[in-house]
């Protein structure tokens, strides 16, 4: 994982910047639509925290994704942020601190990704039989790499069939061990990749599996998802193989990776949809 320069510049952020960051942050994806984030100001920095009682891998991934959105919102407003992930190990709920960087105009890439925030949503319906172009596949991998993560694309019937079996096995474990009301409907029977003629899955991972690694993976995941959305792709997340440690180990061995998979992403061209309901921004400001 890269270690960016986090030396703050200027007087710090104010309430307007906090609201701007939070309004973008709450549009990030989260498992079960839990939306486990809180946003606050401290000493001129914007802090993103896990809502108490909503900790764990999924919450850290979601808050990392929220940090990606917040960083983009500040960038397009000319208030570039330097992001420190999990800056205080003694404060487990503190996910990220965004501090003012040297002002500069937003890049065209930042502008495009920011515009995609409002359009991104999880599409769990079957995708159309249209392959994702090779150039777009390369762009997705580069989006992950630029944030210190990796994205391995699963291509071909053999790779997809092997993954589907791992995912279904993990889904059965989750339904057996945790048949909770919030279990997502896409467990295990809605793996449409088995029926799509041109499925494209990507396994996103990072080198470690500490809290800071999971947060970084969430930030990288969101950059990949926004890159896809900006290019007209639909996406969804498949978490079963990550939630079951034995399945995650199988997936890691199948990929030949020494790192840790953190999420499986699905890409394709689907029917239009709309984002799910969001917490009001006033509910997440502290």
Residue 19: CATH number of its domain: 3.40.109.10
Q: Is residue 193 assigned to a domain?
A: yes
Q: Is residue 286 part of a domain?
A: no
Task: Please count the CA atoms within 13 angstroms of the CA of 214 that sit on its side-chain side.
Answer: 17
Q: Tell whether 276 is covered by a domain.
A: no
Task: For residue 282, give the 3-state DSSP assignment.
Answer: helix
Same domain for 173 and 218, yes or no, is yes
Q: What is the mean pLDDT of residues 201-214?
A: 98
102 shares a domain with 209: no
Give me the pLDDT at residue 177, please.
76
Is 196 inside any structural domain?
Answer: yes
| Residue 111 shares a structural domain with residue 37 | yes
> In this predicted model, what pLDDT tens digit does every residue of 246-277 receive, in sequence order?
999 999 999 999 999 999 999 999 998 888 89
157 and 244 part of one domain:
yes
252 and 145 in a common domain: yes
Flag the least confident range among 98-107, 159-168, 177-186.
177-186
Q: What global pTM score does this model have?
A: 0.92
Cβ-in-10-Å burial (0-12, 13-18, 19+) of 138 comes to: exposed
pLDDT at residue 90 tops 90: yes
Verify that 64 and 183 share a domain, yes or no: no
Strands of 178-249 (E only): list them. 200-206, 234-238
Does 261 lie in the same domain as 140? yes
Please say if the pLDDT value at position 6 is more than 90. no
**pLDDT band at 183, cuts 50/70/90?**
very low
* Residue 192 confidence (pLDDT): 56
Distance separating alpha carbons of residues 64 and 49, to the nearest angstrom:
10
Domain limits at 258?
Answer: 134-268
Alpha carbons 61 and 30: distance in angstroms, whole number: 8
Number of domains, the chain: 2
Lateral strand order in the sheet of 200-206:
150-154, 200-206, 260-268, 234-238
Residues 9-23 pLDDT 10s: 567 999 999 999 999
Same domain? For 253 and 141 the reply is yes
Structure tokens at 248: 């995650």
Distance CA 286, CA 279 (A): 14
pLDDT of residue 2: 38
Q: How confident is the model at residue 180 (pLDDT cuts 50, 70, 90)?
A: very low
* Same domain flag for 71 and 141: no
Full strand arrangement of the beta sheet holding 45-50: 37-42, 45-50, 94-100, 81-85
Q: Rounded to whole angstroms, how far apart are CA atoms 39 and 19?
A: 9
């Amino acid at each position: 994982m890269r270690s960016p320069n986090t030396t703050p510049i200027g007087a710090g952020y104010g309430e307007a910047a906090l609201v701007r960051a939070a309004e973008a942050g709450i549009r990030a994806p989260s498992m079960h639509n839990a939306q486990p984030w809180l946003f606050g100001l401290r000493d001129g920095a914007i802090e993103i925290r896990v809502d108490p009682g909503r900790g764990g891998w999924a919450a850290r991934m979601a808050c990392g994704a929220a940090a990606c959105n917040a960083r983009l919102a500040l960038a397009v407003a000319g208030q570039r942020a330097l992001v420190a992930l999990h800056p205080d190990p003694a404060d487990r709920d503190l996910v990220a601190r965004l501090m003012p960087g040297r002002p500069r105009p937003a890049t065209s890439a930042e502008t495009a990704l920011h515009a995609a925030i409002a359009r991104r949503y999880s599409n769990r319906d079957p995708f159309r039989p249209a392959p994702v172009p090779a150039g777009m596949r390369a762009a997705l991998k580069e989006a992950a790499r630029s944030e210190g993560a990796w994205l391995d694309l699963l291509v071909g019937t053999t790779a997809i069939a092997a993954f589907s079996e791992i995912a279904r096995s993990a889904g059965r474990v989750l339904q057996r061990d945790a048949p909770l009301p919030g279990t997502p409907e896409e467990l295990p029977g809605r793996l449409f990749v088995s029926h799509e003629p041109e499925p494209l899955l990507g396994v996103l991972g990072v080198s470690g599996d500490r809290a800071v690694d999971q947060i970084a993976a969430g930030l990288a995941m969101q950059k990949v998802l926004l890159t896809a959305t900006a290019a007209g792709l639909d996406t969804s997340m498949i978490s079963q193989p990550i939630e079951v440690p034995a399945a995650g180990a199988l997936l890691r061995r199948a990929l030949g990776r020494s790192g840790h998979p953190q999420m499986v992403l699905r890409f394709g061209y689907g029917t239009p949809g709309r984002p799910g309901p969001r917490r009001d921004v006033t509910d997440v400001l502290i």
